[in-house]
Structure 1
Amino acid sequence: MQNPFGNGDNNEGPNGLPVPPNYATVAKPDSGDIRIGKVGFSYTAFLFNFLVPIFRGDWYNLLCMIGIDAGAVLGLYSIHFSTVQAQSMAYSVLELVLDLLWGFIYNLMYFRHLFNLGYQPATKRSLDLLEKSRYLKKK
């Protein structure tokens, strides 16, 4: 199959399908389970927040996201604002900050949780990408 990404012989996906250059493949050695995920900023987590871990079946990180969001919103509502408009503006800014936070760190959280579950990089290219992006410590 011709590789549409133009990154050489990067056919490490299921059944030898090509994987984009900023995606890493991790596998669980004992079960043979394979996960492919993007390394870097998560536009899906930035735009769709809680839907991303739900679709990935990543319940641990979903609960972490809900807990941090709930704590931040409850903390904001404990502050007394002089007008409703000021409170609304503060809430909007808080939501934007939280969306940016999840966009920047969700993929890191996802891969680190997979490593805690026993997954390992499936190929040398994935290992190099994960180490270069500091998702995995160099050995």
Structure 2
Amino acid sequence: MQNPFGNGNNGNNGDNNEGPNGLPVPPNYATVVKEEGDIRISKVGFSYTTFLFSFLVPIFRGDWYNLLCMLGVNLGVVLGLYSIHFSSIQTFNIVTSVLQFALSFVWGYLYNLMYFRHLFNRGYKPATQRSKDLLTSSGYLPKAKK
């Protein structure tokens, strides 16, 4: 199969057919696998889906641990916000909107890291050397000690 994410006719340099049944995977995606054969493919880097849809992403991935972490942090921020006395409801609404945007931005940066780290704790390993190099260079995997 021709790799739509590769370099075309540059040999195997652009090939990363590590998806199910040898399907190509985009260059900024990593594949991790468990000994039982369970495969997970996810993006490395900023998660635009988490930025836009926040709690729906861990629900659709079945990532209940990180969903509860996100809900807990957001609940703590909201309860902290309600403990502050504001002079008007308009000020409260502005502060709430700014904090919600800031939290969405933070979750966009952190969610994929949290997702991969949780998978590693559950026994997943990088499926290929390319995935391992990508995860290590992005700081998702600790660098090997020499």
TM-score range normalised by the length of the shorter chain? over 0.9
Please provide the CA RMSD for this pair: 0.6
Structure 1: 5+ residue stretches without partners: none
1:56 is the counterpart of 2:61: yes
1:28 is the counterpart of 2:31: no
How far did residue 43 of structure 1 move? 0.2
How far did residue 138 of structure 1 move? 1.1
- Matching residue within 75, 81, 90 for 1:76: 81
Corresponding residue for residue 3 of structure 1:
3
Q: How many residues align?
A: 138
Distance 1:138 1:27 in 2: 19
How far did residue 6 of structure 1 move? 1.8
Q: Which amino acid aligns with 2:21?
A: N
Query: Equivalent residues in 2 for 1:37-48 (5 A)?
Result: 37-48=42-53
Q: Which amino acid aligns with 1:134?
A: G
Q: Could you say what secondary structure the match of 1:18 adopts? A: coil
Deviations 1:46-102 (A, max 9, x none): 000000000000000000000000110110011000011100000001100100010
How far did residue 9 of structure 1 move? 1.6
Q: Could you say what secondary structure the match of 1:26 adopts? A: strand
Distance 1:74 1:46 in 2: 22
Q: Could you say what secondary structure the match of 1:138 adopts? A: coil
Q: Could you say what secondary structure the match of 1:90 adopts? A: helix
Query: Equivalent residues in 2 for 1:8-23 (5 A)?
Result: 8-23=14-29
Corresponding residue for residue 65 of structure 1:
70
Distance 1:43 1:9 in 2: 25
Percent identity, aligned pairs only, is 74
Q: Could you say what secondary structure the match of 1:80 adopts? A: coil
* TM-score normalised by structure 1 residue count: 0.98
Runs of 4+ in 1 over 6 A off after TM superposition: none
Q: Which amino acid aligns with 1:46?
A: F
